[in-house]
A = this chain, B = another copy of it.
Amino acid sequence: MKNKGILIVVSGFSGAGKGTLMTRLIEKYDTYALSVSMTTREARDGEIDGINYFFLEKEEFEEKIKENALVEYANYCGNYYGTPREYVEQQLQLGKDVILEIEIQGALKIKQNFPNALLLFVMPPDVAELRKRLVGRGTETLDVIEKRLMRAKEESAGIEEYDYIVINDDLEQCVDEVNEIVRAAHNTPARNVEFIEKTKKDLERLSEGE
């Protein structure tokens, strides 16, 4: 019954901890695969090509678009970001639940093209905690922090479009909650069309007296 993977789109406010959450999820359970995005933006210090992103030239990226090699893509502040199709489809076929960490516009595009995708929104326990985490990182100016909060405000308008929310308070608990949500999602009728059709046909056959 659980032979095909689910495409999982994870979004959340900056500072909600979705990166840590996904890293731990993949470490803890072997049923997941993390999709690495392609981008044309410059690699930041410590970012590794093929781990954090695949870093491409603009021309290479536009070639990918032409070849329909991306599941979704977007352009932010002059840089492209996109999800490579091949890896995603291959892992889904292998039965892995594939995680894409993308923002809300990309998430909604995915939902349009993959109605069986599962959209998950990671939230902080409360807004005060969110601000504390953003400040606590110590790597950003107050100006950047305010911009992120402003962006969070914008993004919060779309939460209802997601299938599930998770509150990232205790990391381990939240990881298990995400895993539970994904396991449960394998049981929707839309993700079990073949099994349901087979049952219907067998009942039909039996009631015809075979």
Interface set of A (CB-CB < 8 Å, partner B): 1, 121, 123, 126-128, 131, 146, 149-150, 152-153, 156-157, 159-160, 162-167, 177, 180-181, 183-185, 187-190, 192, 195-196, 198-200, 202-204, 206-207
Q: Kindly list chain B residues whose C-beta atoms are within 8 Å of the C-beta of A127.
A: 199, 202-203, 206
Q: Kindly list chain B residues whose C-beta atoms are within 8 Å of the C-beta of A207.
A: 146, 149-150, 153
CA A199 to CA B183, docked complex, whole Å: 27
Is the Cβ of B206 less than 8 Å from the Cβ of A149?
Answer: yes
Q: Kindly list chain B residues whose C-beta atoms are within 8 Å of the C-beta of A166.
A: 187
Copies in the complex: 2
Closest to A190 in B: B160
Partner of A131, one of B165, B185, B206: B206
Closest to A184 in B: B184
CA A31 to CA B157, docked complex, whole Å: 32
Q: Kindly list chain B residues whose C-beta atoms are within 8 Å of the C-beta of A187.
A: 164-166, 177, 181
Partner of A196, one of B160, B192, B200, B206: B160
Q: How far is the CB of A117 from chain B (nearest CB, A)?
A: 15
Q: How far is the CB of A53 from chain B (nearest CB, A)?
A: 28
